Chains A and B, each alone.
Chain A
Amino acid sequence: MKLVVAGKGGSGKTSISGTMARLLGRSGHTVLAIDGDSNPNLALTLGIPAERMDSLPTLSRDMLERSAEGTRLKMSLEEVCATHSVPGPDNVSLLVMAHPRHAGTG
């Protein structure tokens, strides 16, 4: 299942998406949570300490190649996750699109 959780800042969307990710992991799903907002809150909501995020390489456009759809990943998603995601509790891993200090450079 591919799910987007959207909402205004302050609506509680990150608490909801993070909690949902953990609960789905607990019920036997393999969950990839993607932080599309360049803020560290999803990590905290998942129970991943903020300092774990500091050493994480960000996803960059170098990982993409042209395709009929526009772009696609050059490598498999598993390979991307192996180097770019952080494992969290309950079988959830987290992929962050860009760190706040890199925001806008992706």
Chain B
Amino acid sequence: MHATVRSVIEAHSDAPEDVCILDTEASPEHLSRGTAQYAETMLVVVEPYYKSLETGRRMSLLGKDLGIPRVALVANKLRDERDRAAVTEFAEANGLEIAGFVPFDDTLPGAERAGEAPLDFAPDTAAVAAIDEIAQREAGGNGRA
């Protein structure tokens, strides 16, 4: 399975308007076996508490060791300024970059219950706006639209 993922990512177009997004648990085994070897960017999603940040730190180091050119955290489920500060402090203390901040979104459980995409269930939330901002920044505004 890892060889297949790696081969698919390798074969994917390098054109900026073609985007390939691999969603993975990213266990050390996954990454060390080279799944992410051809990726340009790795975003590590973390929550604002120590265990999650620590896992994110280890995943980030793995990504950097693999030679992924850009590795950055996405701080998710932030409820207030304190949460944001906790992630910022952790990132600074560990030399990690932050790609963006996503606020806690209480419409997500509803989307899950309804079996719908978050974007279809509640398209106008602050979380969706934050994710859009991160996505467009990472893609460098290379869309055809």
Contact = CB atoms under 8 A, between A and B. Distances in A.
Interface of A: 1-9, 11-24, 26-37, 42, 44-47, 49-50, 59-61, 63-64, 69-73, 76-77, 80, 89, 95, 97-98, 104, 106
A28 B24 CA distance: 24
Interface of B: 1, 3-14, 16-26, 30-31, 34-36, 38-47, 52, 55-56, 59, 63, 68, 74, 76-77, 102, 108, 112, 115-120, 128, 131-132, 134-136, 138-140, 142-145
Given A3-B20, A3-B21, A63-B4, A69 B44 contact: no
Q: Report the 7 A-B pairs with minimum CB-CB distance, sorted nearest first.
A: A28-B143, A28-B145, A6-B26, A7-B45, A106-B1, A47-B117, A28-B144
Contacts of B132: 23
Given A12-B77, A44-B117, A98-B1, A23 B131 contact: yes
A16 B131 contact: yes
B4 A11 contact: no
A73 B11 contact: yes
Contact of A30 (B17, B22, B118): B17
Contacts of A9: 25
A3 B40 CA distance: 6
